[in-house]
Amino acid sequence: MKQLSVAFFVLLLIQNYGIFLHADPNDGFVTTKGMQLMLNGRPYHANGFNAYWMMYVAFDPSQRDKVSTAFHDAKKHGLTIARSWAFSDGGVRPLQSSPGSYNEQMFQGLDFVISEAKKYGIKIVLSLVNNYVDFGGKKQYVDWARGQGQSVTSDDDFFTNSVVKGYYKNNIKTILTRRNSLTGIAYKDDPTIMAWELMNEPRCPSDISGKTIQAWIAEMAPYLKSIDGKHLLEVGLEGFYGVSKQRSNPNTQVGTDFITNNQIPGIDFATVHAYPEQWLPGSSDESQLSFLNGWLNDHIQDAQNILHKPVLIAEFGKSLKLSGIAQRDQLFNTVYSTIYLNARGGGAAVGGLFWQLLAAGIDSFRDGYEVILSENSSTAILIAQESQKLSRI
């Protein structure tokens, strides 16, 4: 009976705020104006999700219904931004099997993801390479260069070696100029894509001064913009500060700086990730929430007062392997309340993307953070409520 009443409440939200099903944010490019995202001349605030697995699953045409189901469920709950991977370098099911060599079937999977996002009126942020070894990442690029006789000793040579940077630039150009086999629209001309992301969570532990990643962003941002001047661009940062404000970090220095990295021309908005349980292991839920409040508010204030750019909470979550539903819902509510209260007052916070939305039937992608909207009723209510509130701003 309780599950039935919860499901009825979600249905009531959807019926009362039919905008979830009828608003089509895909009829223009998202732009920026000061601290705001803009769409068709109006400020754009949106609730969203991560679903890194979409291209990988859509590689197999028989599994593409999982992608469609995820977008359908997301739309019903008012979610209008997705973030996903546009990379799979080497390994199993590669998009790029070797430098400059691409797998057409995987590209067609990405074509499908973008076309389905368009169908459901959902904007998409696409990340172009991984910091980590999953799906190849910067290590794969360095390995490719080493195989061609380059003297590279560290995965961080990704940011400095000229051959590696050439591989990455070619990858940028190949993806941005790809013509979707289903829609006929080149990616660089498709307003379904909200933004490109240079790298998922870039880190350069070999140079915590931040100079290496700063120089890399300063080189790659104008290169990407020279090919595609229509879409927004963000770095993919977690939000760690450099030496000027390292006291705000959770005992972590990774060679990035939220302030200086986002001040680079061509970077249109800032991003923040939030995983207090990972960054403060062994701490209480109360301590984690206290940190989370400070972390979010510090970045929002810096986006407003220093960067003068929008900020998107691009990843947040809490693992059900380490806590219960109630604790996760509390974290979601904290993030959502912070975003809404700031956005309502015209601040820099423009939305949040939880990690991660999953469709039923692909259990191999469960990581403890997954939200299956048909299974997680209390979380689904929080998501629908945040979508409704943001849509009214």
CA atoms within 13 A of residue 156's CA, in its CB half-sphere? 14
Q: Tell me how long the chain is.
A: 393
From 116, 238, 315, 386, active-site residue = 315
Our answer to whether residue 315 is catalytic in this structure is: yes
Question: Is residue 163 within 8 Å of residue 215, measured between CB atoms?
Answer: no
User: Which tokens is 135 given?
Assistant: 């799906």
User: Which tokens is 289 given?
Assistant: 């929430």
End-to-end CA distance of the chain: 34
Strand partners, 102: 96
What DSSP string describes 228-265? -SSSEEE--------GGGGGGSSS---S--HHHHHTST
From 201, 238, 370, 386, active-site residue = 201
Question: Is residue 35 within 8 Å of residue 347, measured between CB atoms?
Answer: yes
User: Which tokens is 192 given?
Assistant: 């379904």
For residue 187, report the phi and psi dihedrals to the nearest 5 degrees.
-55, -40
Our answer to whether residue 238 is catalytic in this structure is: no
Question: 152-157 long-range CB contacts below 8 Å, 24 or more apart?
Answer: 154/206, 156/204, 156/205, 156/206, 156/207, 156/212, 156/255
What is Dmax (Cα atoms) for the chain? Answer: 66
Catalytic residues: 201, 315
